[in-house]
Structure 1
Amino acid sequence: MQLNTLIAALGLFAPASALLRFGCSALTVQRLDPLVEPGMNPSTHLHQIIGGNSFNVSMPPEEHDLAALSTCTSCQFTEDLSNYWTAVLFYRAKNGTFKRVPQSAQIQGNQGGMVVYYMTDALFDTAQKSTVTAFKPGFRMLVGDSTFRDREQARNFRQLTYICMENSGTRAPEYINFPTKPCPGGIMANHRFPTCWDGKNLDSPNHQDHVAYPESGTFESGGPCPATHPVRLPQILLETVWDTRAFNNPADFTDGNQPFVWSSGDASGFSSHADYLFGWKDDSLQRHLDGHTYVSAPTLKTQSTALQNQCKVKDMVGEDIDSWLTSLPGGNPVA
């Protein structure tokens, strides 16, 4: 049976093309990781989380309907009760103390959080004509690795980048490690997820093997998916702006050094990582993708930024993350 015939016979995949961009306020900032360290309270390092309020210490795969479990979302579209999270950025002072770097909202009125993209072609391709398959209930994945500390380790993770922002509109150039100069508009961290799926598994033991990057080229260049992962997914891009303006002392940026570290203890920037748990309600994402729209989302319901900001989860860890700290939460050493 030919591959295309096999895929059609499985009855799983509805092709679609569109681009979606929306803001999400911060849901919570806690030392929890229900994907990599389920049931561990606290987990090894701090994360910033957006999305549905069913986020918890443990989120077992059998409880995959996040839309049914959540009563609100910190994202613009009420149908998106997914969860997205990344590590947290800290400033390390010369005396060895640490201060959490605040997040800047890119969408007016949002409290921190991120901007999320779902796209079928390159970001500024208004045609968005390629076909992709929407994620399925229970789908989850991880990009990056919190233990990595150099470029060779991180080589397989494409397009986990940083932008040293001159102002709110800066989108280039992109760096693969932390900027080594003060950034007047803050540091944007970009997380682009893999875009090819094996078509069978909603997850894998390392949360990565069921997905892949294009066999050659990139998602933006239309690179083909490998035969092992033939199903083309929309690309998820997360943009987080860290407001580093209060920490831009030139004395901290000398001899190639810089003062920022991830909550995992990484001062290189190569440990950048992000987690995704799919939680769109019913077939709302598929319906949007089927609409062939660029940025606009006529089939989706929006909520006010005030309601986004109100959606929170309780503090389940109970530790100080906002004072000047003598060590990173969890005591992670800087390396």
Structure 2
Amino acid sequence: SYKEMIRIKPDDTDAYLSLSGIYLKQGKVNTARTILAKARQIAPNNLDTLAELGIVYWELDKPQEALKVLEQALSSNPERPGLLAEILANLAEVYEKLERYDDAIKTSKKALEIDYDDPLANFILGLSYDAKGDGLNAISHMIVAKKHFQELKKNYAKARKWDKRNEQKYLANSSRKLRTFYEKYKFNPEDFGEPPIKNIPIAPPQTAQVEEKKPPEKQLPQSGTGSGFFVSKMGHVITNAHVVQNCKKITIGDNANKQVPAELINTDRSNDLALLKLSTLEMASAESKSLIQKLGIVVVPLASKGLLRSEDVILGEKVLVAGYPFGEFFSNTIK
């Protein structure tokens, strides 16, 4: 056992970390803290110990203590990307708790530079942008957070009880926050290419009166919008996969009155991308035709590794984002 390993070798920090992990599985947070504190005495700058201790202090509602150990861990310049992203996301959560929203945003963005899909970093960005009154960014990041917390839920069967409980908590909070944000900032889920959220109606009190049942109302088809950009002279368009997911009909246009039917060619769900193709170029607007003619013929294929492949990009290379999910409501310019 790990206790026996510690008895034989009292300075074995890995044994202390493993033992604290067992107590965390059992929900014995204070015991885990005691063990991690001993490990810290042996190796004050051990990054794994500091990172785990920061989480424990957070769970014990001691944000100032969590702040100290996480900032100490960060100052040691962790070389493992996964550990660095974890420290940054947890530190951002502490900053948000202490109402240091600018620090929370800055630190969360650093975490996303390492792992763009990090659900906790997106969750903290959503909360922090909301605190600063930026509803658009608050909703956008909370949508991403909820999506990836849902992905984590699929792996709950293999997760330890401690992780499972926390991920369930964050998933519930992200769903609740999204509802609040939509109402607060006067947006609809459809504005972000998301399915509508159905409110559960409150049942009226039961009465003895018998009413004639009415036939169910016919549901109207739902529609949504999203951004995309042309990538070939043949009329190929790249957009997000979630924008066209489960769509029976897809149209493309640069304004609401000039829409051209399009075909879904392929999807890259790992990067949330979809490749579309216009059914005809004759119906496209003059602006779209002018843009398409300047493009090449070759399209980068949606390979098994996705459209974004390591051999195609260089670290530090500038990225240009074209398109905007609100279309004509705000702007048609490049962001």
Larger relative contact order (CA 8 Å, sep ≥ 6): 1
Q: Is this a same-fold pair by TM over 0.5?
A: no
State the TM-score bracket (shorter-chain normalisation). under 0.3
TM superposition score normalised by structure 2: 0.20
Which protein has the bigger helix share?
A: 2
Which protein has the bigger strand share?
A: 1
Structure number with larger C-alpha Rg: 2
